[in-house]
């Protein structure tokens, strides 16, 4: 079970192309410009929260505090402006975001949830400290549930059916969605694009490439798509090594190692 690395691989591969719209079909997966961003930092934070039981217990105070702590540990990771303002005001509640920030960090909940219902509950808990809107929460819930389904052997058709209950426009297909894509970090636009990239992929790498080629918020698009693809296809060891080489922080690596162990024990 190594699918949870998918969010990290996607984030790192997409990082050089964010907002640039410069990626070509044969772009190198990794380069000197490839690095972890806020997607990876906050995904690690979600793992840490699951290890500590805060998300499972819907402990909103601890959940908000840990997301703030991890983000401040990596202040230059590329957070959105509203999130940055939230970081600087510890007493502030959720800020009504409809962005993809909750969806980009949610995938670890699928690995410890014992049912679809529990997966959805965990997703809502992790999202609500910042994304207390229908669209923000839906983005997190859909990525979490579809990751859970992929992890538990669902077919592409079954995953597509569930995806379309959240975003009916996915039925239009990947090509149609990216033809009309505009640079945005809104969940209602980017989450269905990431899901479509996965649904029309044939391998993990193909999924990541399709997500990056959408353009715009490429690190988050490919991080979300990578969450699904990692759970469905698995991930080659060589790609995981690229991730670990770029996680130059002891606490981050230790948290990841503890999460890996907890997932194995939960099987």
- The mean pLDDT values, 10 residues at a time, for the chain of 267 residues are 92 88 79 95 98 97 97 95 92 92 97 97 97 96 98 97 97 86 88 97 96 93 98 96 95 96 82
* CA separation for the pair 30, 23 (Å, rounded): 12
At residue 23, the pLDDT reads: 66
∠ CA 145-259-4, rounded to 5°: 45
Q: Which of 190, 192, 191, 197 is nearest to 233 (CA)?
A: 197
What are the structural domains, with CATH classification, of the chain?
A: 3-23+33-266 (1.10.4080.10)
This prediction has a pTM of 0.96
- Specify the pLDDT at position 16: 92
Could you give the CA distance from residue 231 to residue 49 in angstroms, rounded to a whole number? 20
| DSSP output for 56-125 | TTT-HHHHHHHHHHHHHHSTTS---HHHHHHHT-TT-------BSHHHHT-TTHHHH-SSHHHHHHHHHH
Q: Quote the pLDDT of residue 178.
A: 83
């Amino acid at each position: 079970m190594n699918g949870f690395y998918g969010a990290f691989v996607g984030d790192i591969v997409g990082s050089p192309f964010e907002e640039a719209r410069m990626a070509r079909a044969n772009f190198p997966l990794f380069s000197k410009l490839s690095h972890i961003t806020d997607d990876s930092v906050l995904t690690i934070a979600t793992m840490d929260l699951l290890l500590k039981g805060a998300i499972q217990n819907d402990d909103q105070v601890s959940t908000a505090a840990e997301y703030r702590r991890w983000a401040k540990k990596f202040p230059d990771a590329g957070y959105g402006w509203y999130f940055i303002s939230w970081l600087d005001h510890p007493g502030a509640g959720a800020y009504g975001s409809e962005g993809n920030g909750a969806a980009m960090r949610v995938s670890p909940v699928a690995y410890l949830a014992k049912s679809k219902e529990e997966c959805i509950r965990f997703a809502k808990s992790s999202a609500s400290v910042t994304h207390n809107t229908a669209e923000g929460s839906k983005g997190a819930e859909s990525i979490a549930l579809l990751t859970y389904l992929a992890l538990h052997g669902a077919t592409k058709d079954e995953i597509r059916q569930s995806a379309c209950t959240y975003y009916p426009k996915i039925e239009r297909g990947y090509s149609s969605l990216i033809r009309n894509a505009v640079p945005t970090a809104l969940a209602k636009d980017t989450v269905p694009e990431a899901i479509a990239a996965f649904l029309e992929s044939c391998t993990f790498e193909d999924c990541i490439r399709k997500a990056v080629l959408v353009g715009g918020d490429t690190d988050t698009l490919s991080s979300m798509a990578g969450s699904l693809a990692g759970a469905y296809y698995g991930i080659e060891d060589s790609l995981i090594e690229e991730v670990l080489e770029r996680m130059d922080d002891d606490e981050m690596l230790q948290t990841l190692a503890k999460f890996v162990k907890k997932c194995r024990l939960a099987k």
